[in-house]
């Protein structure tokens, strides 16, 4: 495969079968390997699309500074794209994200503004909105409300899956900005409406939910619940257990959030077996495990790993 | 056996600091009413309006599944189920 530049190589990722984790010959699991993108995560798709669309409609011009609230991956993807297209990049990131993510961002020349750990990404969004007001000339692409984020998955992720696996029955992905699920959800509703859209949402430790009033929660502007059919909350214990199963059984070394996605996919698979349904369940491997080694998720017992993840933004 | 409610930090003022309380009911609405009987004030932090609905920034899960996709407040519950209440948070 040949591309004119790194940016041209975003997307077109492999879809691989999981012969050992699939429960039966009739209920099969398929992994969409998004860690094969240039910076190693699914966020390359959204970042590139948001940046190109902003250039097209004139919101982004040469020499601009891009500002984005991110727990890591979107920042890394935007940083790569920004570097190649000549923009300065500033990220607002919760202080309880992994050290690897900070180092990688700095490596790509990103300036990092830390937001308080308590409150997680909600706080990063709040701080970024404040910073944007202080710097009206900076361009916030704002992944939580930018339709280009979802479009990247409508035109890319979901379309590729349907092409590679016309018999697909379920699509399972992580819920963060909701971009992947909204784009893929809309694509399948229009092109193969019988495909069930399943969301896996990471459940963090108490610190992340903070002491804030329940009315100060955050639902991304992109979110439209009619585009998904089921939504599961997955804690660190199940995420770690599954991410290790993926490595042990299928040789795939994925990030912790993928463990949460696989947990929901396996739950769906078990249900299909019980109901005697045929199923081809495609799920997203959002990134590789490299950036999370220092969290301790891959070493020792599950109990130890679970304890270490307490208070961390592991997805 | 009973149904367990996992209480988020912010709502523990209604449960004397307890992380989990228990109650009964055949569906989520009944269960919340039942728990509110022993811990007054909890309900109005989770539910609002007429007809009653979940508050916008509150997510409720029965055995880890978001009840907005399983019938909302009419979601059936039974002994041994775990109900989790959490504020909506961002990711990404």
Q: Residue B17 gets which letter from DSSP?
A: T
Residues in B whose CB is inside 8 Å of some CB of A read 8-11, 45-46, 55-59, 61, 64-66, 68-70, 84, 86-92
The reply to whether residue B91 touches residue A315, judged by beta carbons under 8 angstroms, is: yes
Q: pLDDT tier at A264 (50, 70, 90 boundaries)?
A: very high
pLDDT at A210: 67
pLDDT in the model for residue B92: 58
Q: In what order do the strands lie in the sheet with A27-33?
A: A15-17, A27-33, A279-285, A170-174, A196-202, A230-234, B65-66, B58-62, B82-87, B3-6, B20-23
Segment A271-285 shows an average pLDDT of 98
Q: pLDDT grade, residue A212 (50/70/90)?
A: low
- Specify the pLDDT at position A297: 92
For A288, what's the count of Cα atoms within 13 Å in the CB-facing half-sphere?
A: 11
Residue A145 pLDDT > 70: yes
Q: Is the pLDDT of residue A315 over 90?
A: no
Tell me the pLDDT tens digit for each residue of A153-193. Answer: 999 999 999 999 999 999 999 999 999 999 999 999 999 99
Could you tell me how far CA A190 lies from the centroid of its own chain? 23
pLDDT value at residue A314: 79
Domain spans of chain A, in order of start: 6-36+156-309, 43-140
In sequence order, the 6+-apart residues with CB closer than 8 A to the CB of A74 are A43, A46, A47, A68, A143, A177, B92
* Predicted pLDDT of residue B23: 97
Which of B10, B45, B92 is nearest residue A144 as measured by Cβ atoms?
A: B92
Report the residue of A233, A255, A313 to disrupt the B interface, i.e. the one with the largest count of B CBs within 10 Å.
Answer: A233
Find the mean pLDDT for residues A223-239. Answer: 96
Cβ neighbours, 10 Å, residue A304: 13
Collect the ranges in chain B with pLDDT lower than 50. Answer: none
What's the DSSP call for residue A300?
Answer: S
Total number of residues shown for chain A: 315
For domain A6-36+156-309, the CATH class is alpha beta
Asked if A43 is an active-site residue, the reply is yes
Q: Stretch A115-120: mean pLDDT, rounded?
A: 82
| Residue of chain B nearest A126, judged by CA positions | B90
pTM equals 0.95
Fold of B3-87: Ubiquitin-like (UB roll) (3.10.20)
Residue pLDDT, tens place only, A69-86: 987 799 999 999 999 999
Q: Judge if A6-36+156-309 and A43-140 fold alike in CATH terms.
A: yes
pLDDT at B45 (0 to 100):
93
On chain B, the residues whose CB falls within 8 A of the CB of A176 are 90-92
- Check residues A307 and A38 and name the one with the higher pLDDT: A38
Domain spans of chain B? 3-87
Contacts of B66 in chain A (CB under 8 A): 199, 201, 230-233
The CA-based angle A142-A147-A152, given to 5 degrees, is 100
Is 2.60.40.420 the CATH classification of the domain at A43-140? no
User: Among A175, A214, A217, whose Cβ lies nearest the Cβ of B91?
Assistant: A175
Contacts of A125 in chain B (CB under 8 A): 90
């Amino acid at each position: 495969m040949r591309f004119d530049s790194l940016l041209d190589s975003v997307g077109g990722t492999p879809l691989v079968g999981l012969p050992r984790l699939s429960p039966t010959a009739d209920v099969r699991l398929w992994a969409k390997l998004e860690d094969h993108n240039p910076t190693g995560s699914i966020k390359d798709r959204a970042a590139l699309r948001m940046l190109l669309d902003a250039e097209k409609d004139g919101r982004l011009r040469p020499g601009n500074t891009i500002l984005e609230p991110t727990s890591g991956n979107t920042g890394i993807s935007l940083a790569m794209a920004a570097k190649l297209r000549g923009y300065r990049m500033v990220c607002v990131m919760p202080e309880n994200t992994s050290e690897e993510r900070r180092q990688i961002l700095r490596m790509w020349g990103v300036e990092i503004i830390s937001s308080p750990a308590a409150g997680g990404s909600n706080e990063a969004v709040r701080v970024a909105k404040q910073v944007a007001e202080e710097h009206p000339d900076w361009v916030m692409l704002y992944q939580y409300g930018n339709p280009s984020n979802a479009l990247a998955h409508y035109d890319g992720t979901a379309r590729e899956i349907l092409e590679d696996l016309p018999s697909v029955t379920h699509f399972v992905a992580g819920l963060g900005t909701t971009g992947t699920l909204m784009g893929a959800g809309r694509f399948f509703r229009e092109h193969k409406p019988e495909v069930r859209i399943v969301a896996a949402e990471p459940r963090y430790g108490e610190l992340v939910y903070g002491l804030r009033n329940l009315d100060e929660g955050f639902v991304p502007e992109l979110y439209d619940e009619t585009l998904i059919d089921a939504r599961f909350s997955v804690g660190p214990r199940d995420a770690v257990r599954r991410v290790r199963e993926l490595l042990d059984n299928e040789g795939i070394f994925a990030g912790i959030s993928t463990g949460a996605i696989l947990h929901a996919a396996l739950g769906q698979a078990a249900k299909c077996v019980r109901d005697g349904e045929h199923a081809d369940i495609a799920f997203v491997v959002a990134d590789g495990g490299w950036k999370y080694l220092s969290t301790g998720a891959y070493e020792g017992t599950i109990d130890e790993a679970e304890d270490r993840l307490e208070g961390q933004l592991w997805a | 056996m009973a149904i367990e409610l996992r209480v988020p930090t912010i709502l523990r003022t209604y449960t004397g600091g307890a992380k989990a309380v228990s109650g009964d009911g055949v569906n989520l609405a009944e269960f919340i009413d039942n728990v509110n009987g022993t811990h007054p004030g909890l309900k109005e932090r989770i539910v609002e309006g007429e007809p009653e609905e979940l508050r916008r920034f509150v997510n409720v899960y029965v055995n880890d599944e978001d009840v907005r996709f399983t019938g909302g407040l009419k979601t059936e519950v039974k002994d041994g189920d775990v109900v989790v209440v959490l504020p909506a948070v961002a990711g990404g």
